[in-house]
């Protein structure tokens, strides 16, 4: 599941609607909505994001957060290490091979490390 899929599922459950009903209301198939929720589809289009936000009648701040979550929800990520040292490429490949075996705690540790590097830049 992607962060966006999880957010949509929570919104849908909060409103008490089925995937089928929501899919019909926003003009997609139930299979597509299910695949989106389960992370088997990539990042949704801006048009679809607007339809989802409109369907749930969410306010601007919450809609903006949903759009940001969607931006971080593409399950097929590409890392471009061209122009960087060989250790960067080796690390990216190692991460790609190991990502499915990492625990949520290790992922949180990586996130904390990355947040610290963002504040230094």
CA dihedral 119→71→107→112, nearest 10 degrees, is 10
Position 78 in a domain: no
Domain region containing 27: 3-71
Q: Over the stretch 50-107, which tens digit does the pLDDT of each residue have?
A: 999 999 998 888 888 888 888 888 777 888 999 999 999 999 999 999 999 999 999 9
More confident residue, 3 or 29: 29
Whether residue 7 lies inside any domain: the answer is yes
Q: 10 with 60, same domain?
A: yes
CATH number of 31's domain: 1.10.260.40
- For residues 99 and 63, membership in a common domain is answered with no
Q: Is 33 a member of any domain?
A: yes
Is the same domain home to 18 and 66?
A: yes
Which residue, among 71, 72, 57, has the nearest Cα to 15 in the 3D structure? 57
Please check the confidence at residue 18 and state whether its pLDDT lies above 90. yes
3-state secondary structure string, 31-68? HHHHHHHCCCCCCCCHHHHHHHHHHHCCCHHHHHHHHH
pLDDT at 121 over 70: no
**pLDDT score of 85:** 93
Do residues 59 and 67 make contact, with C-beta atoms less than 8 angstroms apart?
Answer: no
Count of structural domains within the chain: 2
Same domain, yes or no: 38 and 90: no
pLDDT at 81: 92
């Amino acid at each position: 599941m992607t962060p966006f899929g999880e957010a949509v599922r929570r919104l849908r459950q909060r409103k008490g609607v089925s995937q089928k009903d929501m899919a019909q209301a926003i003009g997609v198939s139930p299979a597509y909505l299910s695949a989106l929720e389960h992370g088997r589809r990539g990042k949704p289009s801006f048009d679809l994001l607007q339809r989802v936000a409109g369907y749930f009648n969410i306010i601007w701040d919450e809609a903006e957060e949903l759009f940001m979550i969607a931006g971080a929800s593409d399950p097929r990520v590409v890392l471009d290490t061209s122009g960087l040292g060989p250790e960067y490429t080796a690390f990216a490949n190692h991460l790609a091979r190991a990502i499915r075996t990492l625990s949520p705690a290790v992922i949180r540790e990586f996130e904390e490390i990355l947040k610290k590097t963002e504040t230094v830049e």
